[in-house]
Amino acid sequence: MPAYWNGDLPWAAISDLNGGLLISTQERISALGARESRSRLIPKGSLLFSFKLSIGKMAVAGIDVYTNEAIAALAPKCARLLDRTYLPYALSSIELTDGAGHAVKGKTLNQKSLSALAFPLPPLDEQRRIAARLSEQMAHAARARAAAEARLAHAESLPAACLREVFGPVAPLSAAADIPVDATRTGWRWRRLTDLARLATGHTPSRREPAWWGGDIRWLQLLDIRAVDGRRVMETIERTNPLGIENSSAALLPAGTVCMSRTASVGFVTIMGRDMATSQDFVNWVCGPDIDPDFLMYLLLRCRRETRELGSGATHHTIYFETVQNFSVCVPPIAEQRGIVASLSRRLASAERLAASIRAELAALEALPGALLRGAFGRGGA
């Protein structure tokens, strides 16, 4: 009920459990909501532990907080035996099991199994030493992870920055009925894209005809496009065959054809690395002598936002074929296009190598907390 929510009392959900100190919650309930729902008030300092859905997520309550039956509140019964700061690390170090001793695979850890959780319990001074060292190590790992995430965000922004630097702040693409007059860059000029490349579309051979599927003709569909966006596509998830081509409106297009998705995942672009056919979800350009396929792909990538704005439809966002037929592009002479492609290819490849290196670093950093826990609680002790 609306009267139960947006009150003054913090209410902890599983999504609030971030492994650290919980000092605020995404939602708040009213006193009426707390009373009518029988939500439990968990005192500050308790360990909030999820034993349903996201099993094992936890946080230390830095404030008094209300929660539901999916979260358990754990606190030492005797402060002389168990240190509060040690408890979350000890719980994180164990494999959660069901009542039969099997690792939990489902979505719920029952109360009996929760009560039977066992973990190493060294003397209190040793607990505090372990917790202090782990806190320092975890904080260092978190800082390193945050720094790597920032560097990754920067690396992932480099391709768009490179494209904007090369093509300029004004999009070199228009869908207006009249070809623009003012060039976007010195020495470039507007051309109707259909004067530079042959426009083609695709089709899906009937699924009711198994004989039309499985063959040597790669068939590009939306399921393929995100993995090959901005690069050449060599393989596809599905293939058709000459019968499929002959009995549908699909066409076998030559290597070097530039393909742009026009429905659902609008604006993703690739270049055929070999002869292929596509689904009707693509518009395809077979480039002539005055436009380089890689240059056209980079131009379309630069104009992705503007291209998506040309789409319509509430359920399936689509750029219609009639709109694409009006595309004009602002391009330099072919020799300059090729020089731009060579430079951009090097810069984009360098940016991708940098991003891949940082992703590998992040993967190692994300595995570090588990390694630290295994080091502290594994064989050989702390």
Work out the burial of residue 76: count CB atoms within 10 Å of its CB; fewer than 13 is exposed, 13-18 middle, 19 or more buried. middle
Token pair in block for residue 147: 């720094």
pLDDT over 80 at 14, yes or no: yes
Residue 283's SS3 state is strand
Residue 162: inside a domain: no
pLDDT value for 257: 98
> Average pLDDT over the chain, rounded to whole?
89
Residues 185 and 114 in one domain: no
pLDDT value for 38: 73
Residue 93: inside a domain: yes
Q: Give the DSSP letter string of 149-181.
A: HHHHHHHHHHHHHHHHHHH-SS-SEE--SSPP-
| Alpha carbons 75 and 47: distance in angstroms, whole number | 6
pLDDT value for 296: 98
DSSP symbol at 68: -
Domain count, the chain: 2
Phi, psi of 205 (to 5 degrees): -55, 150
pLDDT value for 273: 98
Residues 191 and 285 in one domain: yes
pLDDT over 60 at 205, yes or no: yes
Measured CA distances, 66 to 19, 34, 153 (Å): 18, 8, 36
pLDDT value for 45: 82
Q: Please compute, for residue 379, the number of CA atoms within 13 A of its CA located in the half-sphere on the CB side.
A: 0
Residues 104 and 233 in one domain: no
Token pair in block for residue 70: 């999916």
pLDDT value for 89: 83
Bridge partners (DSSP) of residue 260 are 269, 283
pLDDT one-digit tens code per residue, 283-333 = 999 999 999 999 999 999 999 999 999 988 666 689 999 999 999 999 999
pLDDT value for 314: 60
pLDDT band at 382 (very low <50, low <70, confident <90, very high): very low
Residue 101's SS3 state is coil
Residue 272: inside a domain: yes
Q: What residues make up the domain containing 285?
A: 167-346
| CATH number, domain with residue 261 | 3.90.220.20
Residue 363: inside a domain: no
Q: What is the mean pLDDT of residues 98-111?
A: 52
Residues 193 and 277 in one domain: yes
Residue 308: inside a domain: yes
pLDDT over 70 at 77, yes or no: yes
pLDDT value for 99: 46
Phi, psi of 102 (to 5 degrees): -90, 150
pLDDT value for 101: 45
Q: What is the mean pLDDT of residues 5-17?
A: 88
Residues 110 and 172 in one domain: no
Residues 323 and 207 in one domain: yes
| Alpha carbons 170 and 163: distance in angstroms, whole number | 12
Residue 368: inside a domain: no
pLDDT one-digit tens code per residue, 326-367 = 999 999 999 999 999 999 999 999 999 999 999 999 999 989
Poorest-confidence range of 54-68, 154-168, 252-266, 293-307? Answer: 54-68
pLDDT value for 251: 95
Among 17, 15, 22, smallest CA distance to 45 is for 22
